[in-house]
Amino acid sequence: MNRTHRFQRKALRVEEAQKRILSRITTMNTEEIALVDSIGRRLADPIYATNDVPAFPRAGMDGYAIRCEGIEKATTAELLTYRIVGDIAAGSAPAMKLNKGEAVRIMTGASVPEGANAVIMFEQTQEYEQNEQAFVQVKHNVGQGQNIAQVGEEIQEGQAIIEPGRIIQPGQMALLSTFGYHRVKVFVPPKVGIFATGTELLPIEQPLLPGKIRNSNSYMVQALVEASGAIPCLYGIIPDDKERAKALLIEALQEMDIVITTGGVSVGDYDIMAEIFREQSEDMLFNRVSMRPGSPTSAAVIHNKLLFGLSGNPGACFVGFELFVKPAIRAMLGAKEALPTVMEAFLDTDYDKGSPHVRYERGKLWIEKGIVKVKSIGVTKSSHMLSIQDANCLLKIPSGKAGAAKGDLIQVIPLQYDVT
């Protein structure tokens, strides 16, 4: 149930907040690029097979192509014998027609000649010569269709093979090149502007000063944006000056497809981003989420662009990006499944930290003797960052006083990066 916070913020469930974001997504424009430049991009159009695979009857192994009638049986007393009439290498187009009792040597992947209906591997044969004529004897039974891939056996011409929204990875590259797609239509990556707020922040190249910290969030978010398939743009640090911050945000919203701010969205007296969100947004999607960490995470629409306000605490910022920003980027790039993948795993340690809110803890996921296990790693306070580098998942700990016990089956979100 939604609750109105004492600072006039309405807490939404994570699922409802995600739904609101995705309802405001418009997919990006498309562009046509060379296949060699397309790795990591998302396809904009469905891809269809332009020919059968195989396109010709294909030998499944090195051996002899023969013509047989039904099942021909070999015995120790009487081996099957065929007259060798030629050789066929991979890539050649055989012009011969094979008759009963004849065989040709053939290589894996080569086109089977007309009349041949089986291929026998070399290891099951014995070749000999008689009167300057080569023969091959077969030691095993032979059946029609043996070791021959028929036309269209794997893929048929016109068959849909890759759906739009899929990331072009090695498997997709293999298919696209097989069917002659030397150029492909892909979605244009969204440009994402990144701000950090707070007078306590320093550029990372500066030495530390009393009461100050370096601006690490911007660089973490930059990496997350790029790994999600978008183009990051660092705008630097916004001081806690309302009018200056407002002007910089409006400028970024005119240039970018998404804008992210980190810090300045909590309810403290010195956090001014929350006020800007309320004043400037055409549609305040949410300004509080019923979760830990990152409950002050906010999202709004300004000038038809998404503006995200993530927590200034590194752990909470990381979780907010994974749950809300990454799905938005994926949806803009045409992904059919934009929301994070959720799976189940057995908790390997007790988690006795109860909470009135669902908790998303950084964790380690692994398989042990066929059982999927997970555990929380390190110190996972929202302000702590050391465990971020080792986490490969987020544990979803249900709300309640009890937390979760070792052996409980809990939901887990694997941390998946679309571009590496």
Name the residue with tokens 């097989």: 178
From 417, 388, 195, select the one nearest 310 (Cα to Cα).
195
Query: Is residue 209 one of the residues assigned to a domain?
Result: yes
Give dist(CA 13, CA 57) in Å, integer.
Answer: 57
Looking at the structure, tell me whether residues 220 and 367 fall in a common domain: no
Last residue within a domain, chosen from 310, 332, 354: 332
**What is the torsion angle, in degrees rounded to the nearest 10, for the CA atoms of residue 398, residue 403, residue 404 and residue 409?**
0
Q: How does strand 3-4 pair with strand 58-59?
A: unpaired
The CATH number of residue 42's host domain is 3.90.105.10
Q: Coil, helix or strand for 250?
A: helix
- Residue 386 covered by a domain: yes
The per-residue pLDDT for 401 is 76
| Alpha-carbon span 243 to 164, nearest angstrom | 43
Phi, psi for 411 (deg, rounded to 5): -85, 145
Same domain, 171 and 193: no
Q: How many domains does the chain have?
A: 4
315 domain residue, yes or no: yes
The answer to whether position 373 is within a domain reads yes
C-alpha to C-alpha distance for 198 and 273, rounded to whole angstroms: 10
323 by DSSP, 3-state: which? Answer: helix
Domain annotation covers residue 291: yes
Q: What is the CATH number of the domain that holds 88?
A: 2.170.190.11
Q: Do 87 and 226 fall into the same domain?
A: no
Pair (230, 358) in one structural domain? no
In this structure, the answer to whether residues 167 and 224 fall within a common structural domain is: no
Asked if residue 202 and residue 170 are part of one domain, the reply reads no
Same domain for 182 and 196, yes or no, is no
Q: Exposed (0-12), middle (13-18) or buried (19+): which is 337, by Cβ within 10 Å?
A: exposed
Per-residue confidence in pLDDT tens, the chain, 420 aa: 444 444 456 899 999 999 999 999 999 999 999 999 999 999 999 999 999 999 999 999 999 999 887 666 766 556 889 999 999 999 998 989 999 899 999 999 999 999 999 999 999 999 999 999 999 999 888 888 999 999 999 999 999 999 999 999 999 999 999 999 999 999 999 999 999 988 888 888 999 999 898 999 999 999 999 999 999 999 998 866 778 888 888 899 999 999 999 987 665 534 667 777 777 767 899 999 999 999 999 999 998 999 999 999 999 999 999 999 999 999 999 999 999 999 999 999 998 878 889 999 999 999 999 999 999 986 656 556 788 899 999 999 999 878 899 999 999 999 998 876
Given 187, 210, 233, the domain boundary residue is: 187
Which secondary-structure segment (H or E) carries 331? helix 326-332
To the nearest 10°, the Cα dihedral for 275, 280, 283, 289? -20
Instruction: Tell me, yes or no, whether 338 lies in a domain.
Output: no
For residues 20 and 35, membership in a common domain is answered with no
Whether 322 and 338 have beta carbons less than 8 Å apart is answered as: no
Within 287-342, strands assigned E span 291-292, 298-302, 305-310
Residue 419 within any structural domain of the chain = no
Residue that is last in its domain, among 332, 363, 389 = 332
- Classify residue 237: in a domain, yes or no: yes
Q: Are residues 125 and 262 in the same domain?
A: no
pLDDT at residue number 4: 44
H helical segments located in 152-235: 170-178, 217-227
Asked whether residue 268 falls in the same domain as residue 328, the answer is: yes
Shared domain for 181 and 125, answered yes or no, is no
Domain with 163 in it: 31-51+156-187
Same domain? 130 vs 162: no
